[in-house]
Amino acid sequence: MKMDESGEHRKLQLQELEEIRNDAYENARIYKEKTKAFHDKMISRKKFKVDQKVLLYPSRLRLFPCKLRSRWIGHFIVTNIFPYSVVEIQSLATSKIFKVNGHKPKLFYEGFQVENVTEVNLQDPIYSD
């Protein structure tokens, strides 16, 4: 009789342990979903258009000769945009066309055009006593 009671008690303990394990898996899944949603919300998507100028980050090159030197190379023109963030670019220097991941290029700003700028000369006021 004592063996049957201890066997039933052991079965209940194993069932409780299984429930605790399932709750832990469920909580971990919920946490991962929330973390992924937060991460995806913070990612800024790059939108490229055909004939835009871009710079390219050479991710294979790990050694950079100078600390303050720019790590972005060339001037490229976007020639085609494919699904799943694949961008086809053309080099302005060599006219080669190749495809890159959409995360590697960034927009190239040629500078801001100055229009309708008025110049104001500021002078110290003259105080007379």
Distance, CA of 57 to CA of 77 (rounded, Å): 14
For residue 66, being part of any structural domain is answered with yes
For residue 127, being part of any structural domain is answered with no
Distance, CA of 57 to CA of 44 (rounded, Å): 17
pLDDT tens-digit map of 46-70: 888 999 999 998 877 666 567 777 7
Confidence of residue 111 (pLDDT cuts 50, 70, 90): confident
Distance, CA of 91 to CA of 51 (rounded, Å): 12
38 and 58 in a single domain? The answer is no
Structural domain count, the chain? 2
Query: Which residues pair with residue 97 across a beta bridge?
Result: 90
CATH of the domain at 58: 2.30.30
57 and 38 in a single domain? The answer is no
For residue 13, being part of any structural domain is answered with yes
**What is the pLDDT averaged over residues 18-24?**
96
Higher pLDDT, 129 or 95: 95
For residue 125, being part of any structural domain is answered with no
Range of the domain at 79: 53-107
13 and 58 in a single domain? The answer is no
Distance, CA of 63 to CA of 71 (rounded, Å): 10
Confidence of residue 81 (pLDDT cuts 50, 70, 90): very high
| Contacts of the segment 89-92: beta carbons below 8 A, 24+ positions apart | 89/54, 89/56
pLDDT at position 2 is 73
- pLDDT for residue 121 is more than 70: yes
Average pLDDT of the residues of the chain:
86
pLDDT at position 119 is 78
